[in-house]
């Protein structure tokens, strides 16, 4: 008995649809036009083409991690999707637009991108997740320097998150 892979409508609606679209785009990227005689390989190996493909792959990887974060609270969806939006802005603007238009995660991503804003609930979730991560690291990792490194990184990120504004400041004209 084989299990069928569920379609996007069965997983998580728009988020799954965007993930399937991202994977479909990556799978269907044509590195060389099949109608050409492949005489001009310079476009395939150009730094701009390589950069675009690497950014696309990084964007898909970050999007996938964020998608997993919808189901696993230890992975922050919004943070990974912010990274995916940055990658897609340089490699595939259509996927960037789809993430920014997402009904649940689009607004926090746009707010952060345009104004550097993290809402209060987002801050609480991020800081709580970091506190949980630190506690698990100290409980499960016996190596002292790893504990200190994780604590230092989490402290730096926590200070950054805590000092972000919670709402965009209105410009007085």
- How many residues comprise the chain? 173
Distance between CA atoms of 17 and 112, rounded to whole angstroms? 23
User: 38 pLDDT band (50/70/90 cuts)?
Assistant: very low
Q: What is the pLDDT of residue 171?
A: 45
pLDDT at 73 over 60: yes
Sign of the torsion angle spanned by Cα atoms 106, 107, 112, 118? negative
DSSP sequence for 119-133: -HHHHHHHHHHHHHH
- Global confidence as pTM: 0.62
């Amino acid at each position: 008995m084989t299990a069928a892979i569920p379609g996007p409508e069965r997983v998580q609606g728009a988020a799954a649809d965007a993930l399937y679209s991202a994977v479909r785009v990556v799978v269907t990227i044509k590195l060389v036009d099949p109608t050409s005689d492949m005489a001009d390989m310079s476009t395939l190996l150009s730094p701009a083409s390589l950069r675009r493909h690497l950014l696309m792959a990084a964007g898909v990887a970050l999007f996938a991690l964020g998608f997993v974060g919808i189901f696993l609270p230890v992975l922050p969806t919004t943070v990974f999707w912010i990274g995916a939006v940055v990658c897609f802005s340089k490699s595939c603007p259509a996927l960037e637009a789809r993430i920014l238009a997402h009904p649940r995660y689009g607004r926090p991503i746009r707010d952060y991108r345009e104004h550097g804003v993290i809402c209060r609930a987002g801050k609480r979730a991020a800081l709580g997740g970091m506190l949980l991560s630190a506690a698990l690291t100290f409980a499960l990792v016996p190596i002292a320097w790893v504990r200190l490194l994780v604590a230092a990184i989490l402290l730096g990120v926590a200070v950054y998150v805590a000092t972000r504004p919670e709402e965009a400041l209105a410009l007085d004209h």
